[in-house]
Amino acid sequence: MSDTVKKSPDAVPQQSDMSGPKRPGLVLALLAACALMIVLDSTVVYVALPKIQQSLEMGGTGLVWVVNAYALAFGGLMLLGGRAGDIVGQRRVLLVGLVIFGVASLICGLATSPEMLIAARAAQGVGAALVAPTSLSLIPINFTNDAARTKAIGVYTGIAAAGGTFGLIIGGVLSDAASWRWVFFINVPVVALVVLLAPTAIRESQPQRGSFDFVGAVTSTGAMVALVYALVRTSTAGWDDPVVLACLAAAAVLFTVLLLVERRARQPLLPLRLFTDRVRASGFVTLLFFPAAFAGMFFFLTQYFQVVWSYSALRTGFAFIPAAVLVLVAAILTGQLVPKLGSTVVAGIGALLTAGAMIWLTQISADGGYATSLLGPLVLGGFGAGLIYASVTTSIMSNVTPDVTGAASSVLQAVQQIGPALGLAVLVTAAGTPADPVDGMRRAFWVAALIAALPAVLALLGRPSRTN
């Protein structure tokens, strides 16, 4: 029997196909649009930074905060956003987050000073922290049939995983053809459309009555902000930077306090029973470490294309299209593979494929060609990543009760947010500063290969025992 039908105390009760949404295509399109929009805004701004700097006369530090303000607010409030949906209703919190995100996007596009833009980017992060976990948690609530839910999660995660690459392309096109301001304006009509259609198309979750865990909210937010900031700063300041060390220490203390508080809370922000299931726990660990390796591939190949081969930012974005397309294709195929092979087997295959891609990339050289040296690992890595993201997300979100769906979604996306920052901190350290940058990239890809192979081990350890 496949591991995807394993039951636990947290398993979602099975319902008939008739309990699904009346317009499943529309529901999935709306939720996937939310995922794509949130991911795009994590990367779309990168290509626009030079023109933003020129237009607003912004210094280098300000440019860094255009990126970091979004990342800190997004990562810091992620746990709070998901749990808020459990308590007051996932759809309700989603709509509130969309309004915040849309208004903040409009202000970003209208910004007349660096301070105005940075503040609006932070507000965008707040909205994203509400939208990201609730949009994912609404999938098992609206798609209760196993096959339909697995397919929906595959499409959702595929679009989300591929969105970062498409963000680079869209950012370049909008910045060159119109203005950097349209990088943000484009969110407004999407938000308006989803807010208009969601109340009637998307089924609401059952709110959980009770007191709100304010202590958990404060400690989790503080811990996440401290950890995300430390990891973001590490890539430029190093591990021995006093600010980095202080933030890591603060994060460790706050996470310890959070665990102690949540053990006694009546309605905890972070239900600890989420981590008692072996499959789910191994899934969380996989989604922490795997993005660390996959993000490293994008980071170093971006440097390779632009520094070694002198690609423009827009051409670099197009170079990643094969990986982005294969992520989406594999994620959609996962809906057919998981019922036959089981989610852990599919994740293990994806891990091995991606680790192979990283090993392939250790052979790069300055005089290589795109088709002969890089197309293969991009295709292999993209396909493997799609298998992992979709199968692990399915195994986590199909194995929780409705009252903690938002909490599970927020933990899942929180570890995905931390993973790339952690990976870049480790891989940049591994690369060092050699005279030949390609030598450093090779070292980084060896480390990335080891990290990418970890989910294959976790797949074996996390696979549940067979039952009759």
State which of 186, 208, 230 marks the end of a domain.
Answer: 208
Q: Which pairs with CB-CB distance under 8 Å and at least 24 residues apart come from 201-204? A: 201/21, 201/23, 201/26, 201/27, 201/30, 202/21, 202/27, 202/30, 202/31, 202/91, 202/94, 202/138, 202/142, 203/21, 203/27, 203/91, 203/138, 203/141, 203/142, 204/89, 204/90, 204/91, 204/92
**68 and 103, same structural domain?**
yes
Query: Does any domain span residue 13?
Result: no
**168 and 58, same structural domain?**
yes
pLDDT of residue 462: 54
**226 and 105, same structural domain?**
no
**218 and 204, same structural domain?**
no
pLDDT of residue 446: 95
**Which residues does the chain have with pLDDT short of 70?**
1-21, 210-211, 235, 459-468
**338 and 468, same structural domain?**
yes
Nearest to 301 by CA among 352, 356, 362, 384: 362
Query: Does any domain span residue 137?
Result: yes
Cβ atoms within 10 Å of 460's Cβ, excluding its own: 12
Query: Does any domain span residue 6?
Result: no
pLDDT, tens digit (0-9, with 9 covering 90-100), for 306-331? 888 988 877 888 888 999 899 999 99
**217 and 181, same structural domain?**
no
**397 and 323, same structural domain?**
yes
pLDDT of residue 235: 67
Q: Which pairs with CB-CB distance under 8 Å and at least 24 residues apart come from 233-236? A: 234/425, 234/428, 234/429, 235/421, 235/424, 235/425, 235/428
Residues 386/327, Cβ–Cβ less than 8 Å: yes
Residues 226/77, Cβ–Cβ less than 8 Å: no
Ramachandran angles phi, psi of 264, nearest 5°:
-110, -10
Query: Does any domain span residue 305?
Result: yes
**183 and 239, same structural domain?**
no
Q: What is the CATH number of the domain that holds 191?
A: 1.20.1250.20
**162 and 49, same structural domain?**
yes
**238 and 381, same structural domain?**
no
pLDDT of residue 435: 81
- Tokens 């450093």 locate to 440
pLDDT of residue 247: 93
Query: Does any domain span residue 155?
Result: yes
State which of 224, 247, 266 marks the end of a domain.
Answer: 266
Q: For 300-326, b where at least 16 C-beta lie within 10 A, e where not — what string?
A: bbbbbbeebbebebbebbebbbbbbbb
Query: Does any domain span residue 188?
Result: yes
pLDDT of residue 399: 75
**320 and 259, same structural domain?**
no
Range of the domain at 249: 213-266
Query: Does any domain span residue 437?
Result: yes
Q: Could you tell me the two tokens for 193?
A: 């459309």
**241 and 177, same structural domain?**
no
Domain count across the chain: 3
Query: Does any domain span residue 136?
Result: yes
